[in-house]
Structure 1
């Protein structure tokens, strides 16, 4: 049978209310008394009830993370790393996805907002005004979404995109087709056009589509019909779809068409041929996201933290056909 507060109090020679304070407000108890209570609790195998502790302290010791699509292989490593970082801070992590739909995101937030001390929203679909209202209700961090007065973790693809453009130009490509699956406010297409323009490379944009494997299947032959010698996909999942369809259609990669993804998920290294991609470090993203939300909970001023990216060249890119 589990030990009780009264049993711990009796062994430590204190009142039951002092035992409760040791576990809910330790700074209000003298160090020597705290030590006696924690020693007694350890000896008896006592564990405070998390639900009761939450009711008394008003803290849940949990963080919330809402992502667009948990099935996207980009997110599981981030969730795992963020969970570990949250644990280091003394929190557990609750994760949900919203399938990039505003109604689902609102419903998900409503379901978990009372169960967490702070919330991280990834590429939120909500309006600026609604996000500012939410930030008044709970400590909030946004990933890849900039709203005045709210802390943001910004993943900059610019370094990786610049490297991709340089890589393709060095291989003799005159341009590429970009398979776009971004919402207009994310401006990924604009960033890609600017980087490729700086290298003197033309960009033909297809989409916007849903960021799924099936999109790559659909877009692959459209890109080939546009005369593409290179395809840059919205993410690795779309790029794998492109590779699959090109292989099915007898188009050689990279002999006839080079393919580049974004994210550097496990799929990229395992694909055939191995996928050249723009790497975003899950560990770095997760660490900064967890640290930023904990700092926000503790009253830190809003700030923008940026995480960079870099190109990982693999076997899916090669010299343009006319340069071979």
Structure 2
């Protein structure tokens, strides 16, 4: 028979309510009493009943994560890291995919919001006013989407992009292409950061897009890169970069001898591609920890000191970048 909370209280010499506070809100119990309760619970083999506890407190002990595209290899490590972080704190994580569509995101939020204690929304497509309304009704943490007054984890690409620009400049590149995969998203900060960084390093930048952040976008963009005579490409993410690499090879262009390619995210694809992909790394564990901790804090009524928490980035140089070709691929092909 399972050990009851009353038996733990008797063994620890305290009231049932004190045991409940010691196990569920330990900050409200002094350290000596808290340890006595823990020792008694461990000795008796007491295991709290999460279902009963959540029913009493009106909580589900579940959190929701809504991502734009589960087929993007960037997101499975994010989900796994968030799931592990949530599990350590007694929560189950439910994940859903909006397929980059605002209507699907709205529908999913409506279906999931009653089943979870809070939501992490990654690069939400929704208008600011809808997100503000949602955050007023339930705990919400945004990732890579800024709405005044709503808690946010911002993945800053500033350092990584500056390092990429410096890296390409050092290799002698002068004309670069940015393949914009931001689609019709409200947040255009990535494009702005890239323009500013490349301008600061005296690099010419041609922007192609915006398109959807998919492999097919890179395939479409590759011949445009060659047509512009660019010697370097910065892709919206690794998935787009892989499409560029694939199509450049099909067109007979060599990477990095003819064109250097840089991705963003540092997914598994980056390290296993041939050649391995130079990319800007975003640490999934750091994003996961900050987002989940903030969300659980909100679920327990704790507001963060600052509404925006930042996660940085850095360049990981690999095999797809090298010295700029003295003549463009198109010119050599015509010779």
Partner residue of 2:303 out of 292, 295, 300 = 300
Cα pair 1:8 1:40 within 8 Å, conserved: no
Q: Give the TM-score normalised by structure 1.
A: 0.88
CA–CA distance in structure 2, aligned partners of residues 159 and 36 of structure 1: 48
Q: Which moved more, 1:242-251 or 1:88-97?
A: 88-97
Match of 1:185 among 184, 187, 190: 187
Q: Does the CA contact (< 8 Å) of 1:160 and 1:310 recur in 2?
A: yes
Q: Decide whether the 8 Å contact of 2:5 with 2:19 is kept in 1.
A: no
Deviation string 1:50-82 (CA, Å, 9 cap, x unpaired) is: 433322111122221111111111111111111
Q: What SS class does the counterpart of residue 125 from structure 2 fall into?
A: coil
Match of 2:326 in 1: 322
2:72 corresponding residue in structure 1: 72
**Secondary structure of the structure 2 residue equivalent to 1:185:** coil
- Tell me how far 1:192 sits from its aligned partner: 0.7
* 1:124 to 1:206, Cα distance in 2 relative to 1, 3 A: same
1:174 is aligned to: 174
For 1:184 and 1:36, the matched residues in 2 are separated by: 53
2:331 is matched with none
Q: Separation in 2 of the partners of 1:268 and 1:226?
A: 25
The secondary structure found in structure 1 opposite 2:326 is helix
Structure 2 contact 62–115 (Cα < 8 Å) conserved:
yes
1:106 aligns with 2:110: no
Q: CA deviation at 1:234?
A: 0.4
RMSD of the alignment, in Å?
A: 2.7
Q: What CA distance in whole angstroms lies between the structure 2 residues aligned with 1:314 and 1:216? A: 19
**Aligned residue number for residue 194 of structure 1:** 196
User: For 1:127-153, what per-residue CA distance to the aligned partner results, in whole angstroms no more than 9, with x for missing partners?
Assistant: 111111111111111111111111110
* Residue 97 (str. 1) matches residue 97 (str. 2): yes
Q: Give the unaligned 5+ runs of structure 2.
A: 329-335
Deviations 1:18-41 (A, max 9, x none): 879956985699869956984686
Distance in 2 between residues matched to 1:163 and 1:31, nearest whole Å: 49
Match of 1:148 in 2: 148
Determine the structure 1 residue equivalent to 2:223.
221
Partner of 1:83: 83
* Structure 1 stretch displaced more, 113-122 or 20-29: 20-29
Match of 1:279 in 2: 281
Which of 307, 313, 316 aligns to 2:317? It is 313
Which ranges of structure 1 fall in alignment gaps of 5 or more residues? none
The 1:88/1:222 distance shift into structure 2, 3 A limit, reads same
Q: Deviations over 1:151-185 (max 9, x none)?
A: 11011111111111111111111121111011352
What TM-score comes out, normalization by structure 2 length? 0.85
The superposition leaves residues 257-309 of structure 1 with CA deviations (integer Å, 9 ceiling, x where unpaired) of 11000000010010001100011111111111112212222321452111111
Q: Please say if residues 12 and 36 of structure 1, whose CA atoms lie closer than 8 Å, have aligned partners that are also in contact.
A: no
Change (3 A) 1:38 1:144: same
Cα 1:111/1:25, change in 2 over 3 Å:
farther
Counterpart of 1:163 in structure 2 is: 163
Q: 1:321 to 1:57 in 2, by over 3 A?
A: same
1:23-38 → structure 2 map (5 Å cutoff)? 26=23, 38=41
